[in-house]
C-alpha cells in the first residue's frame, strides 16, 4: 500500500520539476528574444539615423541640382536671346556714355574721354588697326568710304561685328574732283555712301565727317549743305587732336607726339587718324597706353554725343 502511494508522488514530483524546468526554459528563451529584439531595434535606429542623413543630403543635393537646372535653363534662354540682350546692353552703354560725357563736360568725371576716329577706310592696314583695338579692348569710330571691291567686304563686316561705330565719310571722298562743287553733288555722295554702308554692313549711320573737315564745305554752299543734311537727320563732327597723317606720312614718334601734345588740357578729345597711315598704326599702342595712364577712357562716337554737331 505504501509502495502504491509513493508512485504518484514521485510522478507528481517529476511533472512539477519538468513543468518548472519547461517554464524556466521558455522564460529564458523569451528573455533572449527580448534582448535580441532590443539589439535589433537599436540597430534599426542607427540605420534610420544614417538613412535620414542620406535623405537629408539627397534633399540638399536635389535642391542644389534644381537650382543648377534653373540657372542652366536661364543661361540657355539668355544664349538663345543673346542678340536681343546685346542690343539692350548696347543701348544702355550709349545712354551711360551720354550721361558720362555730360559729367565730363561739367568737370565732374574722374576720367577724361577720348574718341578715337579713323578716316578713309577700309584700307589694307584696317585689319591691323582692328587687331590693336581688340588687344586693348577699345571701341573706336570708323569714317568709311565707299569701296565696292569685294576684297574689303570682310573688313566692313569685321568693323561692325567688333562693335565699333561706323560713320559716313562720303562715298567718293573726291575733295578736288567735284565733291563740293554743288550742294547736290555733296549730299548725293553722302546718301550714296549711306546706302552703300547699309548694304555692306546692315547699319544705317547718320554721323558724318566732311572729307578734309567741315571747313572744306566752304560758302556759298556750306549753309545749304548743312540744311540738307539736317533734313536727313545727319550730324557731323571734326576733330580736336590729330596724328598729322593726312598729308605727308609722319614718323611713328611724330604721330605719337602730335596726339599726346594735342590732348593736353582737354577733357574730351576727338583724335583723327587715317587707316592708310602706317605711322599712326605703329604709334597707336603707345598712344592708347599713354592716354590711359593720363586718365582717358576710349569711347565710340554716338549720334547723341554733344561732340556731334546737328
Catalytic residues: 119, 274
Nearer to another protein, 96 or 182 (CB): 96
Using DSSP's 3-state secondary structure scheme, residue 108 falls into coil
Q: Which residues does residue 143 pair with via DSSP β-bridges, in sequence order?
A: 119, 167
Check binding of 40 to another protein (CB under 8 A).
Answer: yes
Instruction: Judge contact between 249 and 277, C-beta under 8 A.
Output: yes
Nearer to another protein, 110 or 177 (CB): 110
Q: Which residues does residue 96 pair with via DSSP β-bridges, in sequence order?
A: none
Check binding of 47 to another protein (CB under 8 A).
Answer: yes
The residues in 48-67 that bind another protein, with binding defined as CB under 8 A, are 48, 51-52, 54-55, 58-59, 61-62, 65-66
User: How much of the chain is helix, strand and coil, in % rounded to 5?
Assistant: 60, 10, 30
Radius of gyration of the chain from Cα atoms?
43
Q: How far is CA 26 from the centre of its chain?
A: 83
Tell the residue number behind the cell numbers 555733296, with chain if given.
Answer: 186
Shortest approach of another protein to residue 167 CB, angstroms? 18
Q: Which of 140, 120, 124, 129 is nearest to 282 (CA)?
A: 129
Quick one: which of 27, 181, 198, 203 contacts another protein (CB under 8 A)? 27
Quick one: which of 14, 69, 203, 218 contacts another protein (CB under 8 A)? 69
Q: How far is CA 281 from the centre of its chain?
A: 26
Nearer to another protein, 55 or 181 (CB): 55
In the stretch 90-129, what mask flags binding to another protein with x, by CB under 8 A?
A: x-xx--xx-xx--x-----xxx------------------
Q: Which of 205, 204, 208, 200 is nearest to 151 (CA)?
A: 200
Shortest approach of another protein to residue 28 CB, angstroms? 9
Quick one: which of 11, 14, 44, 135 contacts another protein (CB under 8 A)? 44
CA distance 249 to 59: 71
CA distance 266 to 240: 9
Check binding of 293 to another protein (CB under 8 A).
Answer: no
Check binding of 131 to another protein (CB under 8 A).
Answer: no
The residues in 157-196 that bind another protein, with binding defined as CB under 8 A, are 161-163
Q: Are strands 141-144 and 268-274 parallel, antiparallel or unpaired?
A: unpaired
Contacting residues toward another protein, per CB under 8 A: 9, 16, 19-20, 23-24, 26-27, 30-31, 33-34, 37-38, 40-41, 44-45, 47-48, 51-52, 54-55, 58-59, 61-62, 65-66, 68-69, 72-73, 75-76, 79-80, 82-83, 85-86, 89-90, 92-93, 96-97, 99-100, 103, 109-111, 137, 139, 161-163, 297
Amino acid at each position: 500500500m505504501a509502495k502504491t502511494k509513493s508512485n504518484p508522488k514521485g510522478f507528481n514530483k517529476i511533472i512539477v520539476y519538468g513543468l518548472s524546468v519547461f517554464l524556466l526554459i521558455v522564460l529564458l528563451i523569451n528573455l533572449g528574444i527580448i534582448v535580441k529584439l532590443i539589439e535589433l531595434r537599436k540597430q534599426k535606429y542607427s540605420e534610420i539615423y544614417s538613412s535620414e542623413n542620406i535623405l537629408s543630403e539627397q534633399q540638399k543635393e536635389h535642391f542644389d541640382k534644381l537650382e543648377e537646372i534653373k540657372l542652366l535653363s536661364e543661361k540657355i534662354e539668355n544664349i538663345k536671346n543673346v542678340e536681343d540682350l546685346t542690343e539692350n546692353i548696347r543701348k544702355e552703354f550709349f545712354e551711360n556714355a551720354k550721361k558720362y560725357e555730360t559729367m565730363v563736360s561739367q568737370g565732374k568725371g574722374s576720367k577724361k574721354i577720348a574718341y578715337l576716329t579713323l578716316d578713309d577706310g577700309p584700307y589694307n592696314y584696317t585689319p591691323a588697326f582692328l587687331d590693336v583695338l581688340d588687344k586693348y579692348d577699345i571701341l573706336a569710330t570708323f569714317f568709311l568710304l565707299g569701296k565696292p571691291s569685294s576684297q574689303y567686304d570682310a573688313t566692313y563686316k569685321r568693323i561692325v561685328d567688333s562693335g565699333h561705330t561706323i560713320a559716313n565719310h562720303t562715298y567718293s571722298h573726291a575733295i578736288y574732283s567735284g565733291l563740293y562743287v554743288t550742294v547736290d553733288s555733296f549730299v548725293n555722295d553722302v546718301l550714296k555712301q549711306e546706302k552703300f554702308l547699309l548694304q555692306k554692313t546692315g547699319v544705317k549711320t547718320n554721323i558724318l565727317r566732311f572729307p578734309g573737315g567741315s571747313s572744306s564745305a566752304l560758302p556759298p554752299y556750306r549753309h545749304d549743305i548743312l540744311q540738307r543734311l539736317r533734313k536727313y537727320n545727319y550730324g557731323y563732327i571734326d576733330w580736336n587732336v590729330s596724328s598729322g597723317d593726312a598729308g605727308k606720312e609722319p614718323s611713328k614718334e611724330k604721330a605719337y607726339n602730335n596726339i599726346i601734345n594735342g590732348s593736353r588740357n582737354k577733357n574730351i578729345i576727338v583724335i583723327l587718324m587715317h587707316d592708310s597711315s602706317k605711322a599712326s598704326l605703329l604709334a597707336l599702342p603707345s598712344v592708347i597706353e599713354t592716354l590711359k595712364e593720363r586718365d582717358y577712357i576710349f569711347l565710340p562716337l554716338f549720334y547723341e554725343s554733344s561732340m556731334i554737331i546737328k
